[in-house]
Amino acid sequence: MTMNSIKVEDSSGNTNDGTEASSSSSQSNGVHKVCLPPHRTTFQKLRHRLSEIFFPDDPLHRFKNQTTLRKFVLGLQFFFPVFEWGPKYNLMLLRSDIIAGITIASLAIPQGISYAKLANLPPIIGLYSSFVPPLIYSILGSSRHLAVGPVSIASLVMGTMLSQAVTYSKEPALYLQLAFTATLIAGCLQAAMGFFRLGFIIDFLSKATLLGFMAGAAVIVSLQQLKGLLGIVHFTNKMEIIPVLTSVFENRNEWTWQTVVMGGCFLMFLLTARQISARNPKLFWVSAAAPLVSVILSTVIVYLIKNETHAIPTIGHLPKGINPPSVNKLHFGGPFMALALRVGIITGILALTEGIAVGRTFAAMENYQVDGNKEMIAIGLMNIVGSCASCFVTTGSFSRSAVSYNAGGKSVVSNIVMAATVLITLLFLMPLFHYTPNVILAAIIITAVIGLIDYQGAFRLWKVDKLDCIACLSSFFGVLFISVAIGLLIAVGISVFKILLHVTRPNTNVLGYISSTRSFQSLSRYTTAVRIPSFLIIAVEAPFYFANSTYLHERTLRWIREEEDRIKANQEPPIKCVILDMTAVTAIDTSGIDTICELRRILEKRSLKLVLANPVGNVMEKLFNSNALEAFGLDGLYLTVSEAVDDISSSWKPEKGPAQPLTI
């Protein structure tokens, strides 16, 4: 049977034998022929598919029709965005960036020290990580407002996973080796994902599961800081809620009232400052300056009473000077290599997810685009360099980026200003932190991570998508009661399960006709939609794959059985034709084709006709190449559901006497 016999023509209007299809033949009896997509070789199809997967944004479009010199300049700008914005930079922008840089430095310095403690690393490592990585990002990064440095989630995960095998207090050299090695692995993973354009992988961490993960991590982090707020010396290294609370109350004899009073007062001060800034964005500087003010005030207080009491533990001596090299501390072998690999992969993906999400958030607010793959390369390279310069995992921080944005930051120069401020601190101001109490670092961490608990977001998930809310809660409780790493795996597992659920159990609907709109819509959704007598119109809203072909086969037969039961109960005319609306079937494989053919054979034995309506290009091509269309005959394939109903119903009328076709 030729293409023309089943009302099929190629996109140029030619029939299978190459003859020109006339307008009268292509619209015979008002029925349009269904076109095949333009002919392409297997290589062309593969190239197109890979391009859609890895290059959806067509990053090389700017190089088209350009001279060699221009291509070289564009190449520099592509790999080093500093060459793009640098020539346009001016003094007015510099003034704004200096203000923003100094402002975020006032937040980055205490946060850097605090997050290093959160990762169970020496506080000075946090300042090192706030100096080198921002300089690297300012050269390679494409976001104008992303402020980089240590972040709470990555610090927490690193500290938790490493401390389960090695503790810094007992084996400081090995702990540092593993931390720097994990940072290098994270950087290599991030850069590789960007270079090979694998950014879609991080999309498996859905917003719902990340919402639960971050909330659970925030609760655990806050409870862990009770050690500092209460002055407890002996505290559990575990991160689950039950061991942490047990450790708090089992060591009540170690609580000190001086630490409790100071911690409570400064925690209230920090939370109040945060609330003031949240209610009035113009007062953003209150929340930004509060951590540094707290550090200064608490340090002064402890210094003044140092001879009166020794009940408040302090940071102690911090060495002056810039980042020492740590290449010799990278650890590639031994029994802990697998641990470093796991920590690097998990923290790398978490840091990447947070950094890109923050960058895209502020880019959307300012109406510019951020290249996710270039961001991955930038974040990866800054972690690779950082691992060689005594830094641990860093990425874009939401709190610091928000401060930079509200302070009027216009470009990544604000990162350079912040790094310069940290440099001055490292060179000249380190002795001032000797009397900084640990309790103030705990208060700063609690204030920072408490913003990760988005209970309103959880309520929205419950209202909009119950499955998303279940994923969020599962991730949340997994972190609380099992572990941070397992909680993250639960989050990923639920995300993958949700994808599989949608793929294997796609939506199907019975359609009815809405005369006022001249369209077919779901009967369960629109009360004005009416059934067409003798027709059952089923819409499939997913690709037809091996994973769902059995389900779609069974569900279609069930729709037919239910419709026959309804017809029998209402004494209506029996079904004669089943129409599959394939508008939303974006792809099909051999299992799907076999399922459609099997359905046709089953329905044919029951004297029911199966008709396909509006298959998309690649589906149509596969159906044709598999010769599946030959069995459907002249009236088995239609461009629209309306044409199928009109054409088929008109062929029934002569059997019942003179009548006009059912025109809809």
* pLDDT at residue 31 is higher than 80: no
For 423-445, the DSSP string reads HHIIIIIGGGGTT-BHHHHHHHH
Residue 447: which pLDDT band, with cuts at 50, 70 and 90? Answer: confident
Burial class (CB in 10 A: 0-12, 13-18, 19+), 41: exposed
Q: How far is CA 569 from the centre of its chain?
A: 50
Neighbour tally for 641: CB within 10 Å: 25
What is the structure's pLDDT at 11? 53
Q: How far is CA 52 from the centre of its chain?
A: 19
Residue 1: which pLDDT band, with cuts at 50, 70 and 90? Answer: very low
Here the tokens at position 343 are: 């920590």
**293 closest CA partner among 313, 266, 315, 311:** 266
Q: Half-sphere exposure (CA, 13 Å, Cβ side) for 453?
A: 12
* pLDDT at residue 201 is higher than 80: no
CA 496/CA 309 separation, integer angstroms: 55
Neighbour tally for 391: CB within 10 Å: 29
Q: Residues 417-435: pLDDT tens digits?
A: 999 999 999 998 888 888 8
What is the structure's pLDDT at 57? 65
Ranking 278-292, 344-358, 638-652 by mean pLDDT, the lowest is: 278-292
What is the structure's pLDDT at 13? 54
Residue 261 in 3-state DSSP? helix
Best mean pLDDT range from 113-117, 186-190, 263-267, 425-429: 186-190
* pLDDT at residue 658 is higher than 70: no
Q: Residues 275-333: pLDDT tens digits?
A: 888 888 788 778 878 888 888 898 898 888 875 656 688 888 888 889 999 999 998 88
pTM: 0.74
* pLDDT at residue 256 is higher than 50: yes
As beta bridge partners, residue 258 has none
DSSP at 180: H
As beta bridge partners, residue 579 has 537, 611
Here the tokens at position 531 are: 């059934």
R_g over Cα of the chain = 32
* pLDDT at residue 5 is higher than 50: no
Neighbour tally for 500: CB within 10 Å: 12
